[in-house]
Amino acid sequence: MEIVDYLQGKGRHSVDVLLAIYDLSASGNVSWKDVKQWFKERGKNVSDGTFRARREELVELGLAEKTEGADQLKFGVKLTGTGVETARVIKQTLEKLNALENAETQK
């Protein structure tokens, strides 16, 4: 995982939040609660503030859009077409890098 960790940076939250929304988007709108559970299932943690900051960045980049919620602080998020394609490419790249790294360690 060293190569993947290097590519994602020390915190990894930007890529992880994008991939979490991508993985969860089959069920429709994605909420903070969904993302928090996704991280927990992978033995990771992300704060509410970090999630909100990454979500805002994704919206600013045109990779995600906010969806209606109960109040202004509890809206959901979903990926745009560009966001879906970006997440798909990143996920495929990470899978290939993991396979390469595993092949190297088995030599």
| Contact call for residues 1 and 98 (beta carbons, < 8 A) | yes
What are the residue boundaries of the structural domains of the chain, listed by start? 2-100
CA 63 – CA 14 distance, rounded (Å): 12
Summarize pLDDT for 77-101 with one digit per residue, the tens: 999 999 899 899 999 998 998 899 8
Q: What confidence tier does 1 reach under pLDDT thresholds 50, 70, 90?
A: very low
Show the DSSP H helices in 9-107 as ranges.
Answer: 13-24, 32-41, 48-60, 81-105
CATH number of 2-100: 1.10.10.10
State mean pLDDT over 5-12. 53
Summarize pLDDT for 19-42 with one digit per residue, the tens: 999 999 877 788 888 999 999 999
Which DSSP helix (H) or strand (E) runs through 2? helix 2-8
